[in-house]
Amino acid sequence: MQFWKYSTSALASLLAVVSLTNASGPSDGEAVADPNSAVVKLTTDNFATFLEENPLVLTEFFAPWCGYCKMLGPEFSKAADSLNESHPNIKLAQVDCTEDQDLCADHEIKGYPTLKIIRDGKSKAAEDYQGPREHQGIVDYMIKQSLPAVQAPTSWEDLEKLIKEQTKPYVLKVNGATDDIFKNIANVKRNDYTFIDVGKDYLKQLGKVLNQDLKKASYLVVHPGDVVEAIKYEGKADLDKLTEFISVETLPYFGEISRDTYMSYMSSPLPIAYYFYKTPEQREAIASDLSKLGKKYRGKLNIVGLDANLYGRHAESISMDPEIVPLFAIQQVAENKKYGVNQTEHPDGPSFKVIEKFVADYFDNKLEPIIKSEPLPSDEEKAANPVVKLVAHNHEQVLKDLDKDVFVKYYAPWCGHCKKLAPTWEEMAEIFGSNKDDAKVVIADLDHTANDVDIPYEIRGYPTLLLYPANGKLDEKTGLRTPIVFEGQRELNALLDFIKEKGALGVDGSALQEKLNEAKEAAEDAVEDAAEEVKDKAADAKDKVEHDEL
C-alpha cells in the first residue's frame, strides 16, 4: 500500500461515521434489517437467482456485531421501504457475512458494512456504493442510478427545466450525437454530475442562457448560480483528456470536503490544499481570497475547506495538530507527501498572505514535506528487543538491504490481534537472531499509524505480514522489493515454514529453533552443574570445618 490510502480512507471513515451518526445517533439499532421491511435477505442459495431477476440491486455485506452496520441498519430498512413504494424496480438486499462466509470471500469483502451496486445480475462487475448512508440520501442516490447516464431532453421546455433544477456543476454535449466517449465518462461519473445531450434545435436558446457562442463547442462544464459560468473544452475528443477536463472544471475554486464531494477530490490527480476551520465565520472571512487563489492555480491545485469540529482527526493523518485551527496544509494524495504552514509560528491560524506565499513556495519547490515518524530506536532498545523496530526514518534503509529476507509486521497499537501475535513475533526474531549484523532473516515490525511509509502493497487491516525476499523484484514506484503477504494461521510453525518456502534464502527456522533450544538446555544444564558444584564445595568446606573442630 501507499500510505496515502490509509490517510484518505481514514477521512472516508470519518465522513461515513459523521453521516451515520447524524442520521441515526448512537449505534443502538440492529444491523439485521427489519424482517417486515422490503430488504431482501440473500444467501448462497438465492443470491444468483435474485440478482438475475432484478436489474438494479444495492447489496449490503455486513456482520451483525458491527457497530457501523447497526447504525446503518434502520436507515437501510427505511430506504428499502421508500423505494419499494416509489421505484419497485430498485431493490435493497443484505448478505450476512457471518453466515455466508464463502459468498463474502468470493466477492472480496474486506470490511463491514460494504455496499455494492449490482446491475443485471453481474455481481463480479459490481460498483462500490459511494453515496450517503441515511434514508433519503440512499433513496436519492439509487433513483439516480436507475436513470440513463446521459439525459437527452426532447424539447426546449424540458431542457430548460432540467438546467434550472441543477444545483451543482453539470456537463453538456452539444453539436452532434452523443458519442461513446461522453457515454463512458457519464457512466463512471453519473453519481457526481448530470450529463446532458443537447439537441441542435436548442443551441440558440441555450447559448443565450449561458452567454456563449455554441457553434464550435463540443463539451461544456456549467456552474449554475446567480452568475452562470460555462467552460468550453477546447481539445479533441479524447477519453483521458476529457475526463481530466471534467474532473478539474467541475470543482469550485474553493470547495468543501463532504460526503458528497469526497470522491471528486480524492479521484483528482491534483494535490489538495486543506483549510481547516472551526466556525462558519472563520471560513467566510477567507473564502473570497481562497477562491481567487483557487482560480489562479486552476488545474494545478484543488483548495477545499474542512470543518475541524467534524473532521479534525484528518489533520492528524496529514501530520498536523487538530487543536491549532485554522490551519492550512497541502497533500499530494498519490504520493502522500504533506506540507503544512508552521502551526507554532501561526497559533491563531495563518493569514491569507501567509497562505498565498506558502502555495507559491510549494510550486517553486521551496518546501520540505512533513514526514511522520517515531524516533529511531536507541542502542539500548536494539539490544533489549530481538525484533528490529522500523520507523519512517529507517524503513527504506532496512528494506533496501537486498541480501536478507525481511519479514515485517505492520500493526496498530490498539489492534487486539497484533497484541496476541507479539510474543510469537519476538520468539521468531530470537530464533533468527534478527538484531545481529550477520542475520540472514530479519524479523521486524512497524507501527503503521505512527509512521509515514511508502510500500508496494495496499494494507487493509492489521496485522499485515509482508515478506520481502532477498534480491526480490523491485517495485517501480517505491524502489522496494515486491513483498509476499502471509495469509495463514499466525502460529510459530506456520510462520517458520512460510519463511523457508517463500524466502529467497530458504532458511530453516525450525532447525534453528532446535539448535537454540539445545543451546538453552545446555546453558541451563551448565548453570545447574555449576550450582551443584558450588553446593558440593560448600558441603565439603563445612565438613572440613567440623572435622577440624573435632
Does residue 463 have a cis bond before it (omega within 30 degrees)?
yes
Report helix, strand or coil for 447.
strand
Q: What is the CA radius of gyration of the chain?
A: 30
CA 205 distance to own-chain centroid: 45
Q: Which residues in 158-196 are b (16+ Cβ under 10 Å) and which e?
A: ebeeebeeeeebbbbbbeeebeebbbebbeebbbbbbbb
66 as an active site residue: the answer is yes
Q: Is 405 helix (H, G, I), strand (E, B) or coil?
A: strand
Question: Would you call 415 a catalytic residue per the annotation?
Answer: yes
Per annotation, catalytic residue among 69, 72, 230, 325: 69
Active-site hit among 10, 181, 367, 415: 415
Residue 429 CA to its chain's centroid (Å): 31
Helix (H, G, I), strand (E, B) or coil at 272: strand
Expressed in angstroms, the distance from the first to the final Cα of the chain is 83
Question: Which one is catalytic: 330, 418, 431, 496?
Answer: 418
The C-alpha cell 475526463 sits at: 243
Q: Which residue has the cell 491534483?
A: 270
CA pair distance 170, 194, nearest whole angstrom:
5
Using CB atoms within 10 A of its CB, is residue 433 exposed (0-12), middle (13-18) or buried (19+)?
middle
> Phi/psi zone of residue 293: left (φ > 0), alpha (ψ -120 to 50 degrees), beta?
alpha
Return the SS3 of 256.
strand
Residue identified by cell 471528486 is: 264
Alpha carbon distance 548, 537 (integer Å): 16
Kindly provide the residue ranges of all beta strands, DSSP E only, lying in 257-357, ordered along the sequence: 272-277, 302-307, 327-332, 337-340
Distance (Å, whole) CA 467 – CA 421: 16
Amino acid, single-letter form, for residue 218 = S
Q: Is 97 a catalytic residue?
A: no
Question: Residue 338's beta-bridge partner residues?
Answer: 331, 370
- The span from the CA of 380 to the CA of 286, in Å, is 50
Q: H or E segment at 40? A: strand 40-42
All cell numbers assigned to 471: 534480491
Catalytic residues: 66, 69, 415, 418
